[in-house]
Amino acid sequence: MKVIRFRITALLAVLCGTGMVQSKAQDINVVTTAVPFLRISPDARAGGMGDAGIATAPDANSSFWNQAKLPFAPVKSGISATYTPWLSDITSDVYLASLAGYYQIDDEQALSSSIRYFNLGSIQFTNINGDRLGTSDPREFAFDMGYTRRLSKQTSLGLALRYINSRLANGDVNGSGVSYKPGNAFGADISFFYNGIDETGAGFTGGAVLSNLGTKISYTNNANAKDYIPANLGVGVGYTWAFDEDSKLTLAADINKLLVPALPKAPTSQDIDDYYTRGVFESWFKSFGGDNGGFKSLQISGGAEYAYVNQFFARAGYYYEDKSQGGRRYLTMGVGFKYNAIHANFSYLIPSGSGVTRNPLSNTLRLGIGFDLVKE
């Protein structure tokens, strides 16, 4: 059963965009988790900035990046939807859809809610001989609700609670005698935001987020066969220059670290048992030592956004991940348009590599549309 579990986890890692890199096997030690769709950027604006979003200007999609930004949003209430065909260079039936909204109760508080839905297409199951055993249409979604409160004129703290459902397979799909069922988990985000933007629209912003802190998830009735969800520590900074009343430039950067330990590079049976029976709280601290790669385990995002009259936006960014963690490295670009209460965003992941080294995320598109519902 453990072999089956490893195969499912590896499949999900590929489906969620782990790069295909040429490297010595002993140098690769990718940290894998269940429900990795929670790490996919569900926001076309951030998608154009290399997936940097922790310290950028607040909008309806802030609940996906940093809940604490919402009291500083310039509009009292808003809603946004994004659609992303995923791995479109490889398949045509995998996509991520999201919907998010918020409401400022007053100048100090805000409520928010969001949902992510991940369709993994259709999967054909076979046995070791290649005989077909049936198909499955795996689906996953996460729903959360959040509350944010200002701590001072420039700082705020946010909290979000999340329910996660993952249906990869039902029943004994591969003749192994193991019956699979939908997995359920709960998680929470704790976020902080510093807003140093002055009356001209220029200044420094910063944030920190602990996300997906929660339970393990299981797809069987075996209590010792539970997988980690992608708990993560993220830190972001940004700075905006206001050249005049019409033109602004923002530079932003995020650093993310999965709070999930890696298996030893050559695990024994005892190592595997210890890994899957370890408590969640202990695993967060374990992720900083041992075979977890040190600085190599960090994912780095950087991006720029140029805004003209706060209606036209041009964006570019870069995402970096060490080869030992999958080697995702790509350039992004995007544009945005805002007219009255309607705003639209588009991002594109520039193709890179060729042959077996081609980035499986090449040509990824994100399309987003949003509405300002209540103005001050």
Average pLDDT over residues 287-310: 87
Of 38-42, 142-146, 275-279, minimum mean pLDDT range: 275-279
Q: Does residue 13 surpass a pLDDT of 60?
A: no
The whole-number pLDDT of residue 32 equals 85
Tens-place pLDDT, residues 34-70:
999 999 989 999 999 999 999 999 999 999 999 999 9
Question: Cα(101)–Cα(111) distance, rounded to whole angstroms?
Answer: 9
The whole-number pLDDT of residue 127 equals 65
Tens-place pLDDT, residues 242-256:
999 899 999 999 999
Whether the model clears a pTM of 0.85, i.e. scores above it, the answer is yes
Question: Cα(20)–Cα(357) distance, rounded to whole angstroms?
Answer: 6
CA distances from 41 to 25, 48, 121, 142, 342 (A): 28, 10, 19, 14, 21
Nearest to 53 by CA among 242, 299, 310, 228: 299
Q: Does residue 311 surpass a pLDDT of 80?
A: yes
The whole-number pLDDT of residue 279 equals 87
What are the residues whose beta carbons fall under 8 Å from the beta carbon of 86, sequence distance 6 or more?
15, 16, 17, 40, 94, 95, 96, 118, 364
- Comparing 179 with 271, the larger pLDDT belongs to 271
Residue 181 corresponds to which tokens in the numbers above? 């069922």
The whole-number pLDDT of residue 265 equals 77
Nearest to 237 by CA among 193, 279, 286: 193
Tokens 């701590």 sit on residue: 151
Model confidence band, residue 22 (pLDDT cutoffs 50, 70, 90): very low
Task: Sort 239 into a burial class: Cβ within 10 Å, 0-12 / 13-18 / 19+.
Answer: middle
Tens-place pLDDT, residues 189-203:
999 999 999 999 999
The whole-number pLDDT of residue 14 equals 47
Question: Cα(251)–Cα(52) distance, rounded to whole angstroms?
Answer: 10
Of 13-27, 46-60, 68-82, minimum mean pLDDT range: 13-27
Average pLDDT value over all residues in the chain: 87
Question: Cα(375)–Cα(211) distance, rounded to whole angstroms?
Answer: 30
Q: Does residue 169 surpass a pLDDT of 80?
A: no
- Comparing 293 with 77, the larger pLDDT belongs to 77
Tens-place pLDDT, residues 120-141:
988 776 666 677 766 778 999 9
The whole-number pLDDT of residue 294 equals 72
Q: Report the range out of 158-167, 224-233, 260-269 with the highest average pLDDT.
A: 158-167
Q: Does residue 241 surpass a pLDDT of 80?
A: yes
The whole-number pLDDT of residue 173 equals 62
The whole-number pLDDT of residue 164 equals 97
CATH top-level class of 36-374: mainly beta
